[in-house]
Amino acid sequence: MKTKRSGLTVIEILVVVGIIAILVGILVPAMSMVRRTAKEVKQKAQFTAIELGLAAFRNDTGDYPPSDWWNPAVPAAPQDYCGAQKLAEAMVGWDLLGFHPDSAWRADGLDSAGGPGTYDPLKVNSPFIVTEKRKGRYVELEVANAFRLGETLPGARDGLFVDTTPLARKTYVLCDGFEVPERKVRLASGKMVAPGTPILYYRANPANKTISPPALPENRTYNLRDNLPLIGLGRLADAVQPAASRRIHPLHPLAPVDPLVPSPVDFYEYIRDPKVEAQPWPYKPDSYILISAGPDGLYGTSDDLCNFPRR
């Protein structure tokens, strides 16, 4: 009498393994897409919160925060505070304790005369005096995702970039929701977290009705210089690399042709509304634009998220 063998044959095992491999091959890309979509939704929600904060800021102060960095007409003016830093001050305060209505928009937090004034960085006033005139935060810190722009001391790892020249390192910027695991930042609690890339902010000058040459940048609706030094710091993932080794953002006007980076992108074409044919015309010519570098951490690529439609 013959006995029956139980179990699977080699062929049956291979078939099962093959089916599992196919299912994994289908599910892994799908899960990656779900995660990316979730981050994009989160990023759009952050933009919405910032837009609501800017609307409230304008209601309180009469205008949107400035975004200017350098004006060639005043070459002696400080060049350490650009659009992204001023957005952070407006939304959460220079020291994250809320915006001061008498702000002089200085990277050092001092008043317009160079005294302790607004944010009292010299610590000469009582805490009550420092905070009594504050407007509070227009965006909650959990949503703002604010990080110090640079390290307080070399190797401290408490800021985004090692070298922020010419920008002031002890200032804050709002970062997007696309974490950069290559650059962990130490919080005051000692916890290490992966930040996002700084959000670029440009305020429109409605008095200027063009974005086309030969008008100078300061005579156009938007000034490409407003965040130029920040864009010039390179990709955040390369922050610890020597300057010569960092990848330059395609949105930088001097971006070299690099096989690892897409071709340079003209800022004014980037913000141009294609529906207007009479002349080059920007999106949101009466307010402001926000730009997130997206998952790849590079400004000027197809995965950027903005508060205007991307072509």
191-202: per-residue pLDDT in tens?
999 999 999 999
Find out whether the peptide bond into 166 is cis, omega within 30 degrees of 0. yes
**Percent of the chain whose predicted confidence (pLDDT) is above 70:** 91
127-162: per-residue pLDDT in tens?
777 778 898 899 999 999 999 999 999 889 999 999
pLDDT at residue 253 in the model:
86
Residues 271 and 289: beta-carbon distance below 8 Å: yes
Q: How many CB atoms lie within 10 A of CB 70?
A: 21
pLDDT at residue 53 in the model:
98
Q: What is the mean pLDDT of residues 24-34?
A: 66
What dihedral angle (degrees, nearest 10) is formed by the CA atoms of 266, 224, 87, 186?
60
CB-based burial, 142-171: b 16+ in 10 Å, e otherwise: ebbbbbbbbbeeeeeebbbbbebeebbbbb
Residue 14 DSSP label: H
Q: Which residues contact 298 (CB under 8 A, 6 or more apart)?
A: 235, 247, 249, 250, 261, 262
pLDDT at residue 284 in the model:
96
Task: Please check the confidence at residue 1 and state whether its pLDDT lies above 60.
Answer: no
Tell whether pTM > 0.85: yes
What is the C-alpha separation between 188 and 79, in angstroms, rounded? 28
Instruction: Say which amino acid occupies 103.
Output: S
Residues 109 and 118: beta-carbon distance below 8 Å: yes
Q: What is the mean pLDDT of residues 241-245?
A: 80
What does the block give as tokens for 113?
Answer: 């005369």
Give the CA angle between residues 153, 158, 164 to the nearest 5°: 65
65-116: per-residue pLDDT in tens?
999 998 887 888 889 999 999 999 999 999 999 999 999 999 999 999 999 9
pLDDT at residue 214 in the model:
86
pLDDT at residue 21 in the model:
80
**Residue 261 — pLDDT band, cuts 50, 70, 90?**
low
